[in-house]
């Protein structure tokens, strides 16, 4: 593939945000939320406390410039590690960020900011369409996320607790620079009882389901993998094949530009019926668009988001005790799987 022109990608993002300025007659747009900061800076990370809604540095986009505003604790780290291609404006950590003194009075923001217009939905719509720079990073992330899940799967053995298996999964992610805000290692019967078998410490003897939403540079790769210590029965195989068939058809037949997620949701219901599991869709969400969130939008009857080239998707059909999940980008040439789930190693 030809090298990605990252400067050109930034220019497109800059022009898109300036379009928001023009529409809302603003002096500047302030991006403080992590997904939007990562999107605009091509993977920069403004988090310290992952539980906070906003990061410790902001992107400020005006009609004439864009810059990073950071306090004296974070500014040098932004300059050298996270956003080296941007001008960084520093202010004392014990003072409030000087947004208006550097950018003007009429502000738009993606998070609560006194007197600022809420532009969060406009920014989210922009970031859903991944540019070439993001897709390039996404491919590497997806490969690493799948490798981490497979490495963890290879370390599992009967008699391990879910906590021990989670440690293997989290460790494999961290070794690759991946953060995993959603991760599960579920054992045996808990997989059948719960659609979200969040790790509680059960001991595995027969089967393990590993689930991970792995993030790096703001992008998320989502997949589910299976480990079997005993040969699964025919009924489980039937259910898993149905999940994989539904997933395949969602990727190859249903995820098309111009369709809405609500429309795909309606089709999902019939796909389950065609596989002999009518109604199983009721017990768990089916996934939807992804990218700069584990799910940008979950497919539901009222999900009006229109599918576009450049969107990413993570569908996750499930039937009691079985599940299939992968992540792909919808390119002009069709869907490109960047993180593939697996059934056994």
Residue 149 confidence (pLDDT) above 90: yes
The predicted model gives 5-22 an average pLDDT of 97
Q: Rounded distance, CA 147 to CA 109, Å?
A: 37
Residue 330 sits in the same domain as residue 259: yes
Q: Which of 96, 127, 158 is the last residue before a domain boundary?
A: 127
Q: Which of 127, 146, 166 is the last residue before a domain boundary?
A: 127
DSSP letter for 129, please: S
Assigned token pair, 240 = 């898993």
Name residue 68's beta-bridge partners. 59, 88
Instruction: Write down the pTM of the prediction.
Output: 0.97
Tell me what the pLDDT averaged over the chain comes to.
Answer: 97
Given the structure tokens 């540095």, which residue do they identify? 57
The CATH number of whichever domain residue 107 belongs to comes to 3.40.350.10
Residue 59 confidence (pLDDT) above 90: yes
User: How much is the pLDDT for 344?
Assistant: 86
The arrangement of strands across the sheet holding 287-290 comes to 297-298, 287-290, 312-315, 327-331, 334-339
Residue 109 sits in the same domain as residue 252: no
Q: Which of 109, 127, 145 is the last residue before a domain boundary?
A: 127
User: How much is the pLDDT for 155?
Assistant: 98
- Tell me how many domains the chain contains: 2
Residue 195 confidence (pLDDT) above 80: yes
Residues 6+ apart with CB under 8 A from 317: 242, 243, 246, 247, 250, 268, 271, 272, 281, 286, 287, 323, 324
The CATH number of whichever domain residue 162 belongs to comes to 3.90.230.10
The pLDDT tens digits of the residues spanning 67-96 come to 999 999 999 999 999 999 999 999 999 999
User: How much is the pLDDT for 264?
Assistant: 98
* Domain, as residue range, for 12: 6-127
Residue 96 sits in the same domain as residue 39: yes
Task: Yes or no: say if 110 and 33 are a contact pair by the CB < 8 Å rule.
Answer: yes
């Amino acid at each position: 593939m030809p090298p990605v022109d990252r400067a050109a990608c930034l220019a497109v993002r800059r022009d898109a945000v300036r379009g928001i300025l023009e529409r809302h007659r603003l002096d500047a747009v302030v991006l403080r939320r992590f997904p939007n900061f990562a999107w605009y800076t091509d993977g920069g990370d403004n988090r310290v406390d992952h539980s906070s809604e906003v990061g410790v540095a902001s992107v400020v986009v005006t009609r004439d410039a864009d810059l990073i505003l950071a306090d004296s604790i974070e500014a040098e780290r932004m300059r050298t590690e996270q956003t080296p291609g941007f001008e960084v404006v520093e202010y004392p950590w014990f003072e409030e960020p000087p947004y208006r003194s550097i950018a003007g009075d009429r502000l738009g923001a993606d998070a609560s900011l006194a007197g600022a217009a809420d532009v969060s939905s406009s920014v989210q719509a922009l970031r859903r369409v991944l540019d070439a720079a993001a897709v390039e990073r996404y491919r590497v992330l997806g490969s690493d996320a799948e490798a981490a899940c497979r490495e963890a799967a290879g370390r599992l053995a009967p008699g391990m607790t879910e906590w021990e298996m989670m440690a293997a999964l989290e460790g494999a992610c961290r070794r690759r620079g991946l953060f995993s805000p959603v991760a599960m290692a579920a054992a045996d019967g808990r997989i059948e009882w719960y659609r979200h078998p969040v790790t509680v410490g059960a001991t595995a003897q027969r089967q393990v389901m590993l689930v991970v939403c792995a993030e790096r540079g703001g992008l998320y790769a989502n997949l589910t993998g299976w480990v079997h210590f005993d040969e699964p029965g025919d009924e489980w195989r039937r259910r898993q094949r149905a999940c994989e068939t539904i997933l395949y058809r969602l990727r190859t037949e249903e995820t098309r530009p111009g369709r809405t997620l609500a429309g795909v949701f309606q089709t999902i219901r019939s796909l389950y019926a065609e596989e002999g599991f009518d109604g199983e869709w009721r017990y768990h969400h089916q996934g939807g668009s992804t990218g700069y969130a584990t799910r940008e939008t979950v497919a539901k009857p009222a999900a009006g988001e229109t599918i576009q080239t450049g969107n990413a998707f993570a569908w996750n059909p499930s039937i009691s005790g079985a599940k299939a999940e992968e992540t792909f980008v919808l390119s002009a040439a069709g869907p490109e799987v960047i993180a593939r789930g697996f059934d056994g190693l």
